[in-house]
Amino acid sequence: MSGAVVGYARTSTADQQAGLDAQIAELRGAGCTRIFSEQVSGADTARPELQAALDWVRAGDVFVVTKPERLARNVIDLLGIVERLRAKGVTVRILAMHLDTGNPTSNLILTILAGVGSWEREIMLERQRAGIAKAKAEGKYRGRAPTARAKTPEVLRLKAEGQTVAQIAESVGVSRASVYRALAEAT
C-alpha cells in the first residue's frame, strides 16, 4: 500500500504570493494530495507549516518540494531534514534536481552536496578571517561600533538631572552596566 504524496511550499515574504502559487501548482502537478505552505524566511527557525508537515507524514509517504532552498536554509539543514524523514520511512523528492531519496544515486548526490556545502562554508570563513586580518594590518578594521559609548553625553546629562541608573538605562536604551561604564569613564 503506497502512502500519501505530501508537498511543502515556501516563500520568504508575503509579497511573493505569485511564487508561492507557482510552487503549489507545481506540487499539485507532481501528484501531491496534501500541501503545506507558508510565507516565512528560510533563515527563520520557526517554520510552523514545515514542522506540521514533518509531523504529519508517515512511513511510506513521499515528501515533495520544488527546490532544496524552499525546504532548508543550507545543505546541512537539508540533510538533517532528509535524515529525519528517512528515519520515519518517508522518501524525499526534490523536483528541480530530479532527486528522489528512494534511490541510492540521489542519496549519493545529497551526500556530495553536503560535503561541498561544508567545504564552501569553511572557505568563506577562511577568506573572511584573512580579510579581517588584512584590514587590521592596514588600520582599517575597527570592529563593531561601540553603540553604548556613543550615548555617553546623554547618559551624563540624565545623571546630572538626577535620574537613577535604571531610569537612564531605560531612557537611553542601554544596559545598566553600560551606564555605569559611561559614568566611570567620564570621571
Q: What is the dihedral of CA 34, 96, 82, 124, to 10 degrees?
A: -140
> What's domain 5-101's architecture?
3-Layer(aba) Sandwich (3.40)
173 phi and psi angles, rounded to 5 deg = 85, 35
Model pLDDT, residue 76: 79
| Among 62, 70, 69, CA closest to 86 | 62
What residue ranges of the chain are covered by domains with CATH 3.40.50.1390? 5-101
Residues in the chain, pLDDT under 70: 1, 14-15, 42-45, 145-146
Model pLDDT, residue 146: 67
Model pLDDT, residue 116: 80
Long-range contacts of range 119-122, CB-CB < 8 Å, 24 or more positions apart?
121/74
From CA 83, how far away is CA 89, in angstroms rounded? 10
Q: Cβ(10)–Cβ(69) under 8 Å?
A: no
Q: Cβ(104)–Cβ(112) under 8 Å?
A: no
* Three-class SS of the chain: CCCCEEEEEEECCHHHHHHHHHHHHHHHHCCCCEEEEEECCCCCCCCHHHHHHHHHCCCCCEEEECCHHHHCCCHHHHHHHHHHHHHCCCEEEEHHHCEECCCHHHHHHHHHHHHHHHHHHHHHHHHHHHHHHHHHHCCCCCCCCCCCHHHHHHHHHHHHCCCCHHHHHHHHCCCHHHHHHHHHHHC
| Among 56, 117, 114, 120, CA closest to 88 | 56
What residue ranges of the chain are covered by domains with CATH 1.10.10? 149-186
Q: How many CB atoms lie within 10 A of CB 71?
A: 23
CATH of domain 149-186: 1.10.10
The catalytic site residues sit at 12
Cell reading at 138: 592596514
Model pLDDT, residue 42: 60
Q: What is the pLDDT of residues 12-55, one digit of tens each?
A: 876 678 889 999 999 999 999 999 999 887 666 678 999 999 99
Q: What is the pTM of this model?
A: 0.62
| Mean pLDDT over the full length of the chain | 87
63 phi and psi angles, rounded to 5 deg = -105, 120
| Among 112, 49, 52, CA closest to 78 | 112
